[in-house]
Structure 1
């Protein structure tokens, strides 16, 4: 992804939590990739979403109070 695309995605996302969402999404992809490669799991969007939600929930426990409500609201709208 080139930098212009990343900057545009951040603008389109229009939220202070963009970085957190991207980092957790990337981590969930990496974790699921490892399950597929090392554990013989099948590629699954449902599994990726589960990993993403789990990691995002962990983030809520250590989030700054100023971001917590926005993080909770965003997670509750994630399908």
Structure 2
């Protein structure tokens, strides 16, 4: 489980993540274009911008670079090492 920092910290679940952004399942609804920060328990924190809103979550974009690649790889690796429910 991640924490999305927008106006207030809110829980968020990663549905997709890459070096350029993430799709999150969350009740948070920051406005389009808002600057947010995503905190992952294993991957650390990354800044992003809200790119789209959906009924069940949001998509955020990252500045693609070494930090975003490392964040995505760490998040994917952490999710792959979790036991299946």
Tell me the TM-score normalized by structure 1: 0.33
More strand by share: 2
More helix by share: 1
Tell me the TM-score normalized by structure 2: 0.32
